[in-house]
Amino acid sequence: MVSPEDFLQQAIGAKLPVEKISIVKGREDRHWHRAEILSLRNEHAGLDKVQFYVHYEGFNKRLDEWVPLERLNISQAEFAKVGKKQTANKLSGAAGPPTTPSGGPAAKVEGSGSGAAVGVPLSATVPQKRKRHDRERTPSHNQLQAEEHRVKQEADKDADGDVVMGDASASQDTDDTFSKEKELEKLRVHGSMTQCVTEIARLKNIDKIVMGKHEIETWYFSPYPEEFTQLPRIWICEFCLEYMGSQRQFERHRTKCTLRHPPGNEIYRDEKARISFYEIDGRKQRRYCRNLCLLSKLFLDHKTLYYDVEPFLFYIMTSCDETGHHVLGYFSKEKQSNEDYNVACILTLPQYQRMGYGKLLIQFSYELSKIEKKTGSPEKPLSDLGLLSYRSYWADTILEKLYQYRGEITIQELSDETSITCDDIMHTLQALDLIKYYKGQFVMCLSKGNIQHHEKNVAKNKTRIDPDKLDWVPPKFTQAQLRYGY
């Protein structure tokens, strides 16, 4: 059996059982789970103070944590082979976008009551042609469904769909060097808010943040200044999003901070639900938007910050009370998207998850697309929770339209009414296994379960976006304003 002292010398890269502590319904649950040690700290302060940064196999990186030696079963440790590079910065590439078939021109709704059928032509299931490099990194539909099933088992989620979605297309380049200039160049070409996979691999550097009355455990690395990474927690002003290293500093800041809502135009207000949306131009409010990106990076794995926020518009959802407008979540979108994406990055803050705000963010993004008279889709690949949230929204929206509709309707007409792309509609129908082959044609069967699911959602009487309360005109930008560094 290896001694603790010898174990420290070869700990990085070792795989062994680790006691994982979870809080389930207010009770502490302990069990042993296999994990890999990525880093260690305080190794020179003695065995009682040394801590190991572990990644649990089969779990998302947001569950990575620092654990003491007493929670490791070093007797069953499997050490990395000699010569294997032991590094905490292990690259983890992002998954490619899912293959989604193009929407067909004709589909018809027949019948009513407990079941209905929508005819779908055979050509509707033929995938669009994709570039060769896109096809090579695109998972199959079965792989995507298997991953979704795994995520559903891992995350005990309700039907409200809380969005935690990283920026979409992370670069597959594994170059260890990166810079702001490279990020800007990639941004010009792709428009994505995620490019650098080297950034993804970093260890979580901030343990906790304090926002308002909430103390929140973080999930991922965020490039806050180095002096903040040695603190047990940092304080963030929930109005201006400035960050402080001590409560005293935070209290001094609060006496001087006059901001009580996001520094942008209020484009939506629901007095009954006390929900508002603010539109912020990244060029006009650089500091606020950069602070927002730093904050969101704590909860998004695939997001980098080595470029300016100028190419993006930010839509902040807030809840209003007597003290001001508190940020619930946000999404960003490109000022000009060549791929017609209506969301680049989207997040519901953890302290407000499982309250239905994720669905509101998604619905609001599609309401903007309706005003623009465009169809839109989020940048892909989505995160695990983002995939579940969007599929839930797409399924609810499509079922609602088909449940209420009588007569014939095409996939294109359904897309025009919802602003959901034909690809996403067809992908949702396939994911729900609603498309069947019947009497020589493809039809979509709404089963009793689909009807009951829709009626159950309607009975919940959830808060929804009211288009009549949206006061917004799509902003227009000149070519000079769209240039970087303008």
Q: Mind listing the domains of the chain with CATH numbers?
A: 4-76 (2.30.30.140), 109-482 (3.40.630.30)
Do 348 and 361 meet the contact criterion of CB atoms below 8 Å apart? yes
Highest mean pLDDT: which range of 193-202, 301-310, 338-347: 338-347
pLDDT in the model for residue 128: 41
Local confidence band at 408 (pLDDT 50, 70, 90 cut-offs): confident
Q: Measure the CA–CA gap between 266 and 171, rounded to whole angstroms.
A: 35
Whether residue 123 has pLDDT greater than 70:
no
Q: Measure the CA–CA gap between 81 and 262, rounded to whole angstroms.
A: 52
SS3 for 473?
coil
Q: Measure the CA–CA gap between 106 and 124, rounded to whole angstroms.
A: 9
Local confidence band at 308 (pLDDT 50, 70, 90 cut-offs): confident
Whether residue 34 has pLDDT greater than 60:
yes
Q: What average pLDDT does the structure give for the chain?
A: 78
Whether residue 107 has pLDDT greater than 80:
no
Q: Measure the CA–CA gap between 4 and 49, rounded to whole angstroms.
A: 13
SS3 for 404?
helix
* Average pLDDT of span 28-37: 93
| pLDDT (tens digit per residue) in 194-204 | 444 444 457 88
| pLDDT (tens digit per residue) in 83-97 | 544 444 443 333 333
* Alpha-helix runs per DSSP H in 266-339: 286-297
* Average pLDDT of span 112-140: 38
Looking at per-residue pLDDT, the higher value among 466 and 152 belongs to 466
Whether residue 279 has pLDDT greater than 50:
yes
Cα 242 → chain centroid:
23
Q: What are the structure tokens assigned to 106, written together?
A: 């004709």
Q: What are the structure tokens assigned to 196, written together?
A: 């650098």
Angle at 164 between CA 93 and CA 274, to 5 degrees: 160
Whether residue 159 has pLDDT greater than 90:
no
* Average pLDDT of span 308-331: 94
Closest CA to 337 of 298, 369, 289, 300: 369
pLDDT in the model for residue 179: 52
| Percent above pLDDT 90 for the chain | 48
Looking at per-residue pLDDT, the higher value among 410 and 349 belongs to 349
Looking at per-residue pLDDT, the higher value among 397 and 165 belongs to 397
Give the residue numbers annotated as catalytic, written as ranges: 379
pLDDT in the model for residue 121: 38
Looking at per-residue pLDDT, the higher value among 241 and 447 belongs to 241
33-42, 43-52, 172-181, 335-344 — which is least confidently predicted?
Answer: 172-181
* Average pLDDT of span 307-327: 92
Q: Measure the CA–CA gap between 66 and 38, rounded to whole angstroms.
A: 10
Pairing of β 234-236 and β 208-211: parallel
pLDDT in the model for residue 196: 44
Residue that the structure tokens 């000699």 belong to? 82
Largest CA distance in the chain: 75
Whether residue 100 has pLDDT greater than 50:
no
Local confidence band at 476 (pLDDT 50, 70, 90 cut-offs): confident
pLDDT in the model for residue 174: 40
pLDDT in the model for residue 95: 38
Local confidence band at 253 (pLDDT 50, 70, 90 cut-offs): very high
Local confidence band at 5 (pLDDT 50, 70, 90 cut-offs): confident
Whether residue 305 has pLDDT greater than 90:
no
All residues at 6 or more sequence positions from 464 whose CB lies less than 8 Å from its CB, including other chains: 360, 363
Asked if the peptide bond before residue 262 counts as cis, ω within 30 degrees of 0, the response is: no
Bridge-partner residues for 110, per DSSP? 117
Alpha-carbon dihedral of residues 450, 151, 419, 317, nearest 10 degrees? Answer: 110
Q: What is the DSSP letter of 291?
A: H
Whether residue 132 has pLDDT greater than 60:
no
| Phi, psi of 72, rounded to the nearest 5 degrees | -105, 140
* Average pLDDT of span 255-271: 96
| pLDDT (tens digit per residue) in 369-402 | 999 999 999 998 787 888 889 999 999 999 898 8
Local confidence band at 415 (pLDDT 50, 70, 90 cut-offs): very high
SS3 for 108?
strand
Whether residue 221 has pLDDT greater than 80:
yes
Q: Measure the CA–CA gap between 222 and 91, rounded to whole angstroms.
A: 16
The conformational region for residue 356 under phi > 0 = left, psi -120 to 50 = alpha, else beta, is: left
* Average pLDDT of span 262-285: 96
